[in-house]
Structure 1
Amino acid sequence: MSSVYSFTLCFFVAVLNPVSLALGAARSSGAAGFSLPLVPHYRTAAGVLEELLPEGDAEGGVNITSIRPKMIPYSGPLYSVRVGVGSGATQHFYKLALDLARPLTPPTPCIRQLSDRGLAGSRFSYCLVGKQHEHLHRRGFLRFGADIPDQSHARSTALLHWDLAKGRGMYYVNLVGVSLGGRRLTAITPATFKFDPHSLRGGCTLDVGTAYTLMAPPAYHVLAAEVVKHMQRHGVHHAILPPAQKLCFHGTWDSIRVHFPSVTLHFYPESASLFIKPELLFVETMHQHTHYACFAIAAYAERTVIGAGQMLDTRFTFDLQHNRLFFAPEDCHLDTSTVN
């Protein structure tokens, strides 16, 4: 979460009706918590005008993820939280663009505000609804504190924090390997994802402001070659589509989806592994009147970024006090409300 975004979110928290927040917190036994509606949206010209977005990038445009160093603004579904200020005829709603690569880094004023109000402590959580439930027009929540469901069954890995520059830092996870279809790709070693404090490159972070997963080129090229071989064994041929040089496969979604492989990301310790379902790894595409399914992971030289498209139907909980990331599969559409 960017420093600008964190400040903006906390500003809205500060001006929200304390009684309504307290009532939301009262639903939980013991410690307090609250939730904000999580709104999927698309980066359109009209949408940008409607949203209170983070700072502009160096080229004068809008960097919707507001991460420094700058991330690639891939097209696709992104997420905001919806916050209302005021009441009655004077009430206004704002959508705040959400990224979580720099989430509420302690000891920020935001964390202190939430803790002082007894609302959240140092934990927040989200569960992004899977594509198969998009037609239900329901939205999930960014949950704080005691509003977070029980995660005692979840796997966990350490959250690592590095300062990229004075006042700017990011959270990382220790990614050590990748499997395809349950088979470990031994050519992808832990060194592939190591963070370099001198060049500020490398490492692995999670970001709901990045639509699809980006991977360090040495690891990506190994993974992509194995995906091509896997699909070829099933008679499915690949193509490289312009302008982004995407790795794609010939065929309609329904005719080739049965051959899609899964990917597992292995964190340290090895028991902490994130399984990504096959259907989350490909995107249906039309190019020159031909059907393709394109691989939803791309090479990126700066670092590895686990994007929103590969987080669907998994709950992620960030515990900043204990520097832990918890994650577990979940039917995220069951923790939603109807879009008004």
Structure 2
Amino acid sequence: MATFYYVRLVGFSVGGARVRGVSERDLRLNPSTGRGGVILDSGTSVTRLARPVYAAVRDAFRAAAPGLRLSPGGFSLFDTCYDLGGRRVVKVPTLSIHLAGGAEVALPPENYLIPVDTRGTFCFAFAGTDGGVSIIGNIQQQGFRVVFDGDAQRVGFLPKSC
């Protein structure tokens, strides 16, 4: 049995537009070196993306959210945080993960902007990694029923209705 469940992630969309500079090649497992690729891991909280992929997704999100005020300095491993304190309504850009075969997983905002304090600071719940493998963590999986079909080598995401 495989230790990790690799998925063929092919890109991201922010605000309905594909993120430039991110391709399937950037996210592919190199079988000769064992580096690269993307795994699903419910034991990892925050999604970690290869640093160039992360930078492209983060920059696309920042550009699509000009009405949100960035908090200086970030928080822990997060470098993109916003001061949303005192706001009743916040409009944020959509964020989707694209998988091989045409599947698109549209994440709800609470799966990519998370509160980190009681003053209204919310951070972009992705981070970069130099570790060789990208990880889709449990924050992005929350609210979905994730179905693994090892025989057919497929994964499915079904939004929970309860």
Tell me the TM-score normalized by structure 2. Answer: 0.87
Quote the Cα distance in structure 2 between the aligned partners of 1:235 and 1:171: 35
Distance 1:255 1:227 in 2: 19
- Distance 1:290-1:322 versus aligned 2 partners, 3 A rule: closer
Following superposition, the deviation at residue 183 of structure 1 comes to 1.1
Distance 1:319 1:180, change over 3 A: same
How many Å separate the matches in 2 of 1:277 and 1:318?
A: 21
| 8 Å contact from structure 1 (residues 181, 261) kept in 2 | yes
CA distance in 2, matches of 1:242, 1:321: 41
* 1:237–1:172 CA distance, 2 compared to 1 (3 A): same
The equivalent position to 2:69 in structure 1, one of 236, 243, 247, is 236
Instruction: Give the corresponding residue for 2:134.
Output: 304
State the AA in 1 paired with 2:106.
F
Secondary structure at the counterpart of residue 321 of structure 1: coil
1:210 counterpart = 2:44: yes
Q: Residues of 1 paired with 2:71 and 2:48: CA distance?
A: 20
Larger-gyration structure (1/2): 1
Which structure shows the bigger proportion of residues in helix conformation?
A: 1
Which position in structure 2 is the counterpart of 1:184?
18
Return the offset for 1:235.
4.7
2:151 maps to 1:317 = no
Matched, 1:268 2:100: yes
**Deviation of residue 245 (structure 1)?**
4.9
The alignment partner of 2:45 has SS state of coil
Does structure 2 retain, via aligned residues, the 8 Å contact 1:260–1:279? Answer: no
Higher relative contact order (CA 8 A, sep 6+): 2
Question: Aligned partners of 1:267, 1:243: CA distance in 2, in Å?
Answer: 29
In 2, the alpha carbon distance for the partners of 1:281 and 1:223 equals 12
Q: Answer whether contact 2:143 2:159 (CA < 8 A) is retained.
A: yes
Counterparts of 1:207 and 1:300, CA distance in 2:
15
Match of 1:328 among 154, 158, 162: 158
For structure 1, which runs of at least 5 residues remain unmatched after alignment? 1-104, 106-167, 334-340
Partner of 2:116: 285
Q: How many angstroms apart in 1 are the aligned matches of 2:77 and 2:147?
A: 33
What does 1:105-116 correspond to in 2, within 5 Å? 105=1
Selected match of 1:197 from 16, 23, 31: 31
Q: Which amino acid in 2 is paired with 1:276?
A: L
| Cα pair 1:257 1:279 within 8 Å, conserved | no
Question: How far apart are residue 256 of structure 1 and its match?
Answer: 7.3
The one-letter code sitting in structure 1 at the alignment partner of 2:121 is Y
Query: 2:84 aligns to what?
Result: 251
Matched position secondary structure for 2:26: helix
Partner-residue secondary structure (3-state), 1:246? coil
Aligned residues: 161
Q: C-alpha separation between the residues in 2 aligned to 1:210 and 1:244?
A: 13
- Contact 2:46/2:139 (8 A) holds in 1: yes
- Give the TM-score, by structure 1 length: 0.44
Residue aligned with 2:29, SS: coil
In structure 1, distance between residues paired with 2:148 and 2:32: 27
Give the CA deviation at 1:261.
2.0
Q: Which amino acid aligns with 1:296?
A: A
2:68, 2:75 → 1: CA distance?
23
Identity percentage over the alignment?
26
Q: Which residue of 2 aligns with 1:170?
A: 4
- Listed as ranges, the gaps of 5+ residues in structure 2 are none
Partners of 1:240 and 1:256 in 2: how far apart? 24
Offset, 1:257: 5.9
